[in-house]
Every structure is written in structure tokens, then in C-alpha cells.
Amino acid sequence: MKKKILVVEDEEGLRLLYEEELESEGYEVLTARNGKEAIQQLEQGRPDLIILDIVMPVMDGMETLGRIVGKDRKIPIILNSSYPGYRQDFMSWAADAYVTKSTDLGELKDKIRKLLEKGKAQ
Amino acid sequence: MKNVLAMILAGGRGERLYPLTRDRAKPAVCFGAIYRIIDFTLSNCLNSDIRRIYLLTQYKSTSLHRHIQLGWNILSAPLGELIGVIPAQQRIDEHWYQGTADAIFQNIYTLQQEMPDLVLILSGDHIYKMDYRKMIAFHLEKGANLTIAAIRMDRTLSREFGVIEVDRDWQIGGFQEKPEEPKTIPGDPEGILASMGIYVFNTEILVRRLIEDARSDSTHDFGKDIIPMMIGMDRVFALDFRQADREGVEYWRDVGTIDAYFEANMDLVSVTPQLNLYDPQWPILTYQSPNPPAKTVWAEEGRMGTALNSIISNGCIISGGSVMRSILSPRVMVHSYAEIEDSILFEGVDVGRHAKIRRTIIDKGVKIPEGMEIGYDLEEDAKRFTVTPSGIVVVPRWIRL
């Protein structure tokens, strides 16, 4: 069974990039354009991991993070932002990982792999 | 103390105090004629020089909000002081608070905004006088991440408390929540160290542990989940209440039941109560509406307005009736030939002529008709009122007699 990853990202170009890159890694990729869409997606079914942008219209990533944790405490979440400053926000500590956006997706892919493995171990 | 933020958990339902908690949260229940239970914790804060305080409310909070608004609007915002009331607002998720730890976690944004070095977590349910400065000094001196205030209790009460195990340095090595077989104090086989639900946390550690707890299967309670998780992982210490006890008699009451509530009130009419309300260095503040002074009238044979061994608040008129060993809140009216003994009458109660009241708590504004007897025939009383195991009658608010 392919692992399902939900990518929450408002920039269309990035969304397509993540979709393509992660599918080629063998994951099934779902996408949402903002936090509100992400929460609607969660009602349809549970992904194995969520990649969450922070600065988004409609509902930002930090608020979405709280909502997701309130609904499903265990789902692994990676905050993925161009701004490292959000690490100071207490709420960001509720994410399993924090990745600063870069053209090289190596770190992100690495974190995904580790979190999914950790999930399997439990 | 400017780097300390107090968060008071004031959402307790106080179910065992029903019907006194029918219309109000437990912290808003009247105590000692003119106070509300919350006044003791808030006064402790101010007397300890802690002036940044948030109250977290939840159930039946209107009465509490009103009291805070009227009586506690006394700090100076420009000096960075405040008493803020935060109702449960579902900021993070769509539930009401699931446990004491969840109540703080749901208000993580307030911690972020205030950025204190230390967070003092208190309960709004208890009556005691404590200098929190001494607890904070102990916390800093020990280099603790969490300090819990502890009081000696009889081991037979272990099922009501979180029981703490300490080493010689008062570092906590074990914590059992409401155990049947408690670990007793070394050298004191009849005593246990009970958690008073008073915590000092380093802010960052608090936030990290709350988040870990929020992301796991847990009841989200400090006693059941957070403290056991932290022991062995962080530096957790107990503060002996005697080190910070203003009274020096280890007075700390939960007043969780009507009987305990009644006894704690009745202590106040004794000659030297355990709880001293007359300490000018440790004033207990509250809200009092402007009322004229208390008054007694009539002094003729068989019709004497008297009050003995009692607390009589402003606005009361004892008009030809007698009051003995009782506590009268403001604006209580006792009419001629009425007799009141060992009772607690809340604000605005009116006792008609020839009525006889004994061992009864009468809630706010109730009018007792002429000639009615309460507390003399408990079987009869139980048909209309709550009667406790020890025979205290409670006449609820809004009742029409």
C-alpha cells in the first residue's frame, strides 16, 4: 500500500513540484490550497502524513495545526515554511518537524521517510 | 515577580457542592459572609506581589465574571498589571477543556503573548493563605523545572489527593494520583504528602510538556499525566507548604462538599479561627456593594434583636429576632421572634417572624415565610431540600416557599 501524504500549500507551482517529486518517491499525494481545504480533506480520509505551509490565505498553517491536533493527535505533521522565524511560536512545537523551504527537497524527503518509519515502529 | 504569570483554573463544576453550584461555578460560591472562594487565591497573588493573572473559566461563569468585574478591577494596566478572564473559547480545538493540562494548552497563545519566565498554575477552588514568593524562590534555588506545593495529610485521605514521594532534598521521585495504598512520609507512617494543585513551571518546559501531552492518548491532567511524565525526565521538586504558609497552621481547605464547606465557614465564628481574616498585612479583598452598617433593633421582653458568636455583614437588620453561631451575608433581614442557629444565610435572605432555622445554608435572596421551621425535622426537610449526611439542610436559590 502506498503511503498517503497530504500537501497543504497555497502556491500552485510548489504544489505541483511537491506532487511530482513525492509521487516519484512512491507516495500517493493529495493536495489542499489552504488550511480549510486541508481540514475538509481530513474528513474524507486520514493521510499518513501532512506537509503544512504556514503563510496561506483563508486559514494559515499554525491555526490548521491546532485544529488537526485537536482532531487527530497522532498524525505526523511537518511544518514547511520559507520563514524560519515561526520556530519561535509555541504552536510550531506541536509539529513533528519544521523544514525551511529550499529548492533542494532532500531535507523534506528525509524527514518524511523518518516520520513514516517511526509511525510503522509504533 | 514581574516575570511570573499566574493562571488560575476556575472552571470547576463543584458538583459535590450542589445546589450551591447550581447557578455558579465553585470559585464563585460565597464563603465567610462577604467573600467568594476565588477571593482567597486572588488575594494570595496580590499579597505575593503577583500582578499578572489570568482566570480560566468554563461552566456557569457569569456570576464569577461579574464578581471579577465589580470587585477586582483594581490593577493598573499601564504598569503591565492585569486580571484577565478567559472563557473557554475553543481557540485550538472544538472541545471544552478536557482536563487541567488541556485548559492551559488551549491557552498557549496567551503564554506566547505574555512570555513570562515562570508560570504559576493555581486552582480557584481552595481556601488558604500562601506566600507564592517563597515558592518561587525555592523553585529558583533548586533549579527546578517544576515545583509542586505539598501539604501533610492523614494517610486515610490518600484517595482524594495526588500523593508525592520526595528524597531528602525534596526532589520528587514518585507521584501517585489518588492511590488506595499511598507511599507515606519517611518517619511518619500515618502521613502523606498531598499535592495542593499549585505548580510553578519554567515556561518553555511547560509548553513542551503540554504539547507532548496534547499529542498523545492522555486524560490531559496535570496530576494524572503531566507530573508522572516529568518525573525522571525533568527536575521536579516539592515545596513544603509550611515554608510559605502565611498562617503557620497549615490551613488549606478544598471545601469540596457541603459538609466541608459548612465546617470551614463555622470555624470563622469561633473565638480564634484557624483562618485569620484580620491580618492587615495579608488583606483578603472582595467586592462589596455599598450597604449601610449592620443593625439590631427591639429590646423588650421576648422580643430582643440579638446576634451572638456570629458574623453579621453590612446591610443586615436583626429586628427582634435572635441569631446564634451563624454567618449572615450582606442585607439579611431577620424579623421578630425568629430564631437562627448554626446557619449560613447568603445575601438578601429574609427570615419571617417566628421562623426557626437550625444547621441550614440558605442561598441568595430566599424568603422564609412566617413560622416556617427548617433543620428540626430532617425527614420533612429532605422532601424539599438537600440534606447532607451530617444533617445540614441546603435551601437553594430561586425557591419559592
Taking alpha carbons only, the member of B160, B148, B158 closest to residue B185 is B158
Indicate if the pLDDT at residue B97 is higher than 90: no
Coil, strand or helix: which one is B141? helix
Whether residue A70 lies within 8 A of chain B, CB to CB, comes out as yes
For residues A70 and A116, give the distance between their C-alpha atoms in angstroms, rounded to a whole number: 21
* Residue of B114, B215, B216 to mutate, testing the A interface (most A Cβ within 10 Å of its Cβ): B215
Q: Looking at residue B72, what is its pLDDT?
A: 95
Q: Looking at residue B94, what is its pLDDT?
A: 67
Burial level of B310, CB count in 10 A (0-12/13-18/19+)?
A: buried
Q: Looking at residue B113, what is its pLDDT?
A: 92
pLDDT band at B13 (very low <50, low <70, confident <90, very high): confident
Contact assignment for B211 to A66 by CB distance below 8 Å: no
Indicate if the pLDDT at residue B95 is higher than 80: no
pTM: 0.92
Q: Can you tell me the mean pLDDT for B316-341?
A: 98
Mean pLDDT of chain B: 94
pLDDT in tens, B352-385: 999 999 999 999 999 999 999 999 999 999 999 9
Coil, strand or helix: which one is B204? helix
Mean pLDDT of chain A: 89
ipTM: 0.84
Q: How far A74 CA lies from chain B's nearest CA (Å)?
A: 6
* Residue of A90, A96, A118 to mutate, testing the B interface (most B Cβ within 10 Å of its Cβ): A90
Burial level of A90, CB count in 10 A (0-12/13-18/19+)?
A: buried
pLDDT in tens, B49-68: 999 999 999 888 899 999 99
